[in-house]
Structure 1
Amino acid sequence: MPAESLDLNVLLALSGQILMLLCGVGVLWRLMFSAEGRAAQRGPKPLPPWSINGAEFGMAVLAVVAGGIAGQIAAVLIAAQLTTDENVMLTIGGAGFQGGLLAGAGIAYISILKPAQRNAARGHDEPPALPGTKAVNLWIAGPYTLLAAMPVLFVVNLTWVFLLESLGLSVEKQELVNIFAETDSPIVLIGMSFLAVVVAPLVEEVIFRAGLFRFLRTRLPRWAAFVLPAAIFGSLHGNLVAFMPLFMLGIVFAVAYERTGRISVPILAHALFNLNTILLLLAGVEV
């Protein structure tokens, strides 16, 4: 690609990011400091308490973990028969792991959580959704959540990288980001893009927000219910530089889920965040 074209792509991408940051500041102010935003913070939340007990939740977690392990093992075995390209094998392995987690979550919901909820409803233990909340438009709330996260992530990322550099710690990017930026394989690009934009947001939001966060939010102090799933979410990505931005992103997504009562909102926001990262990499911007 000619240098002039590359420079233009970078300029357009950075201009888009600046615009999103400015819009995000406005959205964040409206959500946090406007009269409407403060009223929403004080008002009832449409996400009711979850009447699943600890044993049922523990069995569901085991089903999810077992599904992820089984899916990854199967995918690695299949990949070894198809290719020797490490990036392709990594993509297939990631697909197997994510697919296994989703399958495990589906099995846990059908066989454990849904029957438990049904039994609780018969015993009148399952509380109804709280009244007084407005219906949420997914296609507005999802992008709105992403825009609100942008200025927060910008400040957190700059501060975190500065702190790590000051302490002499590694500031290497995630391995998957490097692979995506350097690979020329259409199979890897398409596969990783599909995983990042479609599969990962669905799997991670179902597990961390609809599962772990919802279970903890009425069983721990509220701050701990937000912090613990976000910390696990950030840690499992296996990169020190990415930990704090992903930790904050997890908190933003949990707030959006609690505030709207719809897991589809953080799923869409997560997908848009990953899509934005991919577009930046394709434009030649280091992230």
Structure 2
Amino acid sequence: MSIHNEHILTLDCPERLGLVHAVSGFLVEYGQTIQELTQFDDRRSGHFFMRTDFAGQNGGATSTEELRAAFAPLAEQYGMAWQLEPKGRKRRVLVMVSKFGHCLNDLLFRSRMGELPVEIVAVVSNHLDHKGLVEWHNIPYHHVPVTPDTKPAAEAELLELIDAHDVELVVLARYMQVLSDHLSRELTGRTINIHHSFLPSFKGAKPYHQAYEKGVKTVGATAHYVNAELDEGPIIAQQTVEVDHTFGPEDLVAAGRDTECKALTNAVKWHCEGRVILHGNRTVVLR
């Protein structure tokens, strides 16, 4: 039994009168006090979203399993999709990377410093460039080369690694391979990609070069969930930086690196804190 003082409850369900009252009443009944509550009532879709951070009154601790079992009937009554986790629980994350290492390095550093509620359990790459960096962090590094002929076998190996490491979230930190439709479906809702463009503009390869040709005055990066459509997954976080006519393509690439790191870090953090709820092809981020 996992005994914890603080928990996070995230839920969504069809809009209905009395939802907040029902949840808060449940928490009172079980001796819990609300520390933070964020909600969104989407009148357009008739759907309700909620995240609450709560703790045992006077520092009391309750088992996570007991709270889940007690909440399940209420969730069923209101048709809720929900998760209840101990606050601060580290999610098991596998990072994928190719040759550009800035996003990987940022995630490794922030994880090591305790800024992200994650445990990076493995790094997978189709190149060997970052093996030394990753192993310095005492994290297993798996070199999985990918060619058109070996892609099915490489993706099968990736799924085996995900199972072996009990991975909860896959992060594509500038992994420059397109996942197959099959793999994208397998990892729906638990794979975050960073695209070096402010989507939906400039999809696909070399978006900064596309941005240069258009003479944009702002470039940015987009962190999104992966789905079967290239660069079309539900958006979680975006960052931008202002540029001007003096910026060449290489300058835009350099300017965009910090936006990529920040957008990806935010997306991973919010996902692992239970702040992101998928709803169709959109997300609701409760902050």
Q: Normalising by structure 2, report the TM-score.
A: 0.27
- Of Structure 1 and Structure 2, which has the larger fraction of its residues in strand? 2
- Of Structure 1 and Structure 2, which has the larger fraction of its residues in helix? 1
Structure with the bigger RCO (C-alpha within 8 Å, sep 6+) is 1
